[in-house]
Every structure is written in structure tokens, then in C-alpha cells.
A = this chain, B = another copy of it.
Amino acid sequence: MNFDLIISNISRDIKLTNEEVDFFISLLEFKVIEKKKYLLRTGDICRYDYFVNSGCLKVGYVDDKGTESIIKFALEDWWVVDLDSFLHCKPSFYFLQAIEETTVFQISKSNYDLLHQQIPKFEKFSNARWQNGFIALQQRIMQNLSLTAEEKYLHFKAKYPNLELRISQKLIASYLGISPEFLSVLRKKRATSLS
């Protein structure tokens, strides 16, 4: 089992001693999720915090009208959880599904709480995580308010280069909040204007 990725992820924000690293690792469980399988289904309680070690997950939901939307892609080196469900032990609104074969390290709620008690530094790590998450979501809201569909698409490509190669257009459209047909039109427009 290779813990390099997750340890270096954490080390960007806090410095751990070897003993702390060992303790942290002892709380992790490794899991493989096959393509299209669910890590969490809508309505289930999210009992783990997940770190994506390889592959890619989508975080999404189905609205009143029956339309599925994606609110986030979680690639390797990303943490992901349905926070509201995890913190408050309530049924999840979002689902987590593997887009590719994916491996994760998961931490149960009780181990998560234990970790924060035993190593208060993790409170700092958590803080940085949610603060950065907040800043990123605020930017996304700002872009939703100000940008046209085409501009959102260009921003997406700039922010996640190469992700287009791994993920279907349909999912990207669903993340951007536009119809797949319209995304197809936008792509064609760009392709022709560049040639």
C-alpha cells in the first residue's frame, strides 16, 4: 500500500512527526471502486471522508425534474465527502459515483473525530481545507452569475486541462449547467473558428 500521495497532500498544510503519520495511516481503509459503481447513494448516510488516490469520481444529484447534475469532479489527490451528511449523520443529498476505476482511502466518522482529538493540528488542516473550498465555490458562483455558457466552458478547460479527454462531454455539460447538445455546438464553433 502506497501512502505517499495522501501524506504529501496533508503535508502541504501541516507538518507531522513519524508517529503522527503512523497513527494517521492506521485510521485509513483502502477501497477500490469499479467504473460506474457508487461510493455513496442519494439518501444514504455518508459515513466516511474520502481521499481519491487514483481515478475519478463525480459528485452529483437528481433534481425534482429528474435531471442529474454534477457539482464536482473528484480526481486523484482530492478529498471528497457529502459534508452535511457526514457531519450531521443525515441522509445524503448527493451521490458519489466512479467515472473510472477509482481507488480511495476512507476515514470513518469516529476515526475522523479521534484524529482531530488526538492530533489537534488536524483542526488546522481541516480549516485550510474548508476555507479553500469556500473560496473555490464562491468563485464558481461568481462565474455562474457573470459568464455565458461559452465562457464557462473556456474557464473549465483552462482550469482542468486534459480533463476533457477523460470525461464525457455529457458530464461536462452537466457540470457546467448547460445541455449536452449546446456544448456540442460550442465545441464545433471553436473548432471551426480556430481552423
Complex interface: chain B residues within 8 A of A135 (CB): 83-84
Q: Mark A54-86, 1 if CB is under 8 A from B, else 0.
A: 000000010111010101000000000001100
Number of residues of chain A lying within 8 A (CB) of chain B = 30
Instruction: Determine if A146 and B69 form an interchain contact, defined as CB atoms under 8 angstroms apart.
Output: yes
Label chain A's interface by main secondary structure: helix
Closest to A123 in B: B123
CA A130 – CA B61 in complex, angstroms? 22
Complex interface: chain B residues within 8 A of A21 (CB): none
Instruction: Determine if A87 and B131 form an interchain contact, defined as CB atoms under 8 angstroms apart.
Output: yes
CA A65 – CA B145 in complex, angstroms? 12
Query: Any chain B CB within 8 A of the CB of A140?
Result: yes
Selected from B67, B120, B131, the residue in CB contact (under 8 A) with A120 is B120
- Which A residues lie at the B interface, using CB under 8 A? 61, 63-65, 67, 69, 71, 83-84, 87, 93, 120, 123-124, 126-127, 130-131, 133-135, 137-138, 140-142, 144-146, 177
